[in-house]
Chain A
Amino acid sequence: DAGVTQSPTHLIKTRGQQVTLRCSPKSGHDTVSWYQQALGQGPQFIFQYYEEEERQRGNFPDRFSGHQFPNYSSELNVNALLLGDSALYLCASTRLTYGNEQFFGPGTRLTVL
């Protein structure tokens, strides 16, 4: 049973560029949440997708957007990258209607130069 998978593992971009990160939820899960984890900090909630819609959003600017596909996988897009966007981006999945806790993927390490 595959857990949460994320791609790519690492990514290097320059300021002003755009990036897309991908996440496949754990088998049987239908809800995906994205978190940003700066170095030495705890993860911060970006948003959550369920039934292909954004259901809840944290305190992040509109440069951060996402999408969920019919197979429950998800993408996180960040436009106009800033140096401060450098972080580990974590995807977490759950089965919303079962009230399960969130399982986290290994993350994508984004470096903005």
Chain B
Amino acid sequence: GQQLNQSPQSMFIQEGEDVSMNCTSSSIFNTWLWYKQDPGEGPVLLIALYKAGELTSNGRLTAQFGITRKDSFLNISASIPSDVGIYFCAGRTQGAQKLVFGQGTRLTINP
């Protein structure tokens, strides 16, 4: 079945550092999404990407939809304590509603 491989699994950084994480798939996706999940909460949508090669920003967050449509990355610049949490990539194929999620990247920030 479809699977997304997300890396790294966890990151330990200092406040103010930049963060980069990525997601790869053996299948093509037509939509890539990045979510953040805090403890005890559901995932919250950060960025949605709909076109191969698309680069989209949301404040300090930037995400790109890979040209092959099989990968995506998320960058966070100048990290702050509230960036702590688990980040998930998710993909959706043409005409489908179901989202396929990666395993998540757990971000920990040392003040």
Contacts and interface: CB of A to CB of B under 8 A. Distances in A.
B104 A42 contact: yes
Contacts of A41: 103-104
A71 interface: no
Interface residues of B, number: 23
Contacts, number: 56
Nearest to A107: B42
Contacts of B88: 42-43
B98 A42 contact: no
Question: Size range of the interface on A?
Answer: 20 to 34
Contacts of B48: 101
Contacts of B44: 104
Interface in B1-50: 1, 4, 6, 33, 35, 40-45, 48
Interface of A: 4, 31, 33, 35, 40-45, 48, 55-56, 58-59, 90, 92, 94, 96, 101-107
